[in-house]
Amino acid sequence: MFTTVASFHDPIEAHIACVRLRAEGIAAHVADTHMCRANWEWRRTVGGTRVLVEEADAERARRVVH
């Protein structure tokens, strides 16, 4: 099961955070990138572009991202 560890209004920032997590050995994925690019005015409504990791890695991932 995946959980959100961070969300960004700019999809590029979400992808940077995802790469940073992967560099730390944490499997991470980015969700809602295309929706936020296609419908930029909805970014705040849907919570931005999300970075997802497995629940077991969530605490560690939050420390890395924040």
Distance CA 38, CA 22 (A): 26
User: Residue 38's pLDDT is what?
Assistant: 63
Residues 9, 11, 15: CA angle, nearest 5 degrees: 130
What secondary structure, in 3-state letters, does 14-26 show?
Answer: HHHHHHHHHHCCC
Q: How far apart are CA 59 and CA 37, in angstroms?
A: 28
Task: Quote the pTM value.
Answer: 0.84
Query: What's the pLDDT at 39?
Result: 66
Determine the Cα–Cα distance for residues 2 and 54; give it in Å rounded to an integer.
4
pLDDT tens for residues 8-59? 988 899 999 999 999 999 999 999 876 656 666 666 666 788 999 999 999 9
